[in-house]
Amino acid sequence: MENGLFFFKNVVVIGAPDAPAFVAAGNGKTVVSHCAILGGKTGLVVQDNAELHLLATIVANGVDKEVQVAATAKYVAAANAYHPGRFTVGASDYAAGALAEFQAATAQDQDSVLAAPKHDDAYQFSEPVVRFLDRDQVAGPDRTAALPLSPSTPAPPAPAAASVATASVATASVAATSAAAPPVLAAAAPPAPVPPQSVPLPAATDDGWCKYDFENSNPWNLVYPEPEKMADGNRLPATAELSTEQAVSGQRSLRLHAAFPAQERETWMIKLFSQRLGEDGAKVIRVRFKMFGGNCGTPFTPRFRDARGEIFQGKAAKIDWQGWRDLDWDLTATPPAIRGGDKNRVLDAPFQFVVDFHPRITATAKTFTVFIDDLEFNVGNRP
């Protein structure tokens, strides 16, 4: 086995704080693709003479560092996400934030990012996004790969070690850490529903603006067509994913796209929901974002939905422009129409920001596409 090839995909490794989480050793070749290596004293160790290929993988939250590569090891890496991102290669150390120096020294990790990973209780990751094989995708395990994990509360004593990999060339330590109880390997039970997680707002500027720039994360990615299904019973294809086709800030924006079946309906409602945003007490007084439109005449309406189901409806508008446009809603100057929920007129956090689009389907227009960048909330009462 020492000279074999070892291929890991969609594997989650949770390291113990006193040992490396993942070790590549011996003379074999180890390929780690779309995995998450969390914790460990050092997250990932490539020992002398070993060869490791690391792709679209998350390595985060080691005690000492994330990656240690021996001087004689071969390290080939691209499109990974590290947090905070501390590296050692041979005798050289790279502190958190020094990814550029590490890239220059190794000529590796050219499309990698430094960003904190986000996942739910079943280790389904939603962030960060990396560019891999010409496609923006969430680093780490494929979300469609159903990991047989269920949330761990209330957990029976966790199994001592779920055998992820125990070959001499690559060993993965999955001992439970005291910091976070690992999920339970579920034998045959269907995955338990995970309660919705809320996303904290980014740090606010002095004048109260919290900004999402759609570079490495996408908080506005839930698309609900109405009706949900086409006449053939399939869900209407509609996506809200990061794209490099257009951008105001940085390299990326959010691309909302839907494709309609011909001659089925004249219009379709496309509801674009954000994740649940904000924390208790956050009071949004204004929202703005940039939208790239194609002068398609599509009516759209912004609204908030708060934690208690209350809807704060804004004014309808129409995509009657070509290119980027600033959109701005001051909730004080233009008060929303209130309906549903607890009707206490308080936008209880966590809230979701929503835009409802009503694209018209014609003989020549069977798709709908807009780009969105720089979604900002002005939070009036942030400490």
Does position 129 bind Ca ion by CB under 5 A? no
Which range touches Ca ion (CB under 5 A), out of 19-27, 109-117, 184-192, 305-313? 305-313
Q: Name the token pair of 180.
A: 């976070």
**Measured CA distances, 319 to 48, 258, 274, 295, 296 (Å):** 59, 16, 20, 6, 6
Does position 244 bind Ca ion by CB under 5 A? no
Does position 317 bind Ca ion by CB under 5 A? no
Does position 245 bind Ca ion by CB under 5 A? no
By beta-carbon proximity to Ca ion, the closer residue of 109 and 213 is 213
**Binding residue (CB under 5 A) for Ca ion from 97, 159, 196, 250:** 250
Using the structure block, give the residue that is written with the tokens 């590490």. 102
Give me the torsion for CA of 337, 343, 347, 353, rounded to 10°.
Answer: -50
Residues 352 and 320: their CA atoms lie apart, in Å, by 26
By beta-carbon proximity to Ca ion, the closer residue of 48 and 342 is 342
By beta-carbon proximity to Ca ion, the closer residue of 83 and 252 is 252
Does position 346 bind Ca ion by CB under 5 A? yes
Smallest gap from Cβ 286 to Ca ion, in A, equals 18
3-state secondary structure of 266: coil
Smallest gap from Cβ 247 to Ca ion, in A, equals 5
By beta-carbon proximity to Ca ion, the closer residue of 47 and 249 is 249
Side-chain half-sphere of 339: how many Cα atoms within 13 Å? 4
Smallest gap from Cβ 20 to Ca ion, in A, equals 36
Which range touches Ca ion (CB under 5 A), out of 42-50, 82-90, 327-335, 346-354? 346-354
Residues 247 and 216: their CA atoms lie apart, in Å, by 13
Which range touches Ca ion (CB under 5 A), out of 55-63, 75-83, 307-315, 358-366? 307-315
Amino acid at the residue 309: G
Please report the beta strands in 71-162, taking only residues with DSSP state E, as ranges in sequence order.
Answer: 74-78, 81-83, 87-89, 92-94, 113-114, 118-119, 125-127, 129-132, 135-138, 149-150
3-state secondary structure of 215: coil
Which residues of the chain form contacts with Ca ion (CB under 5 A)?
213-214, 247, 249-250, 252, 306, 308, 310, 342, 344, 346, 348, 373
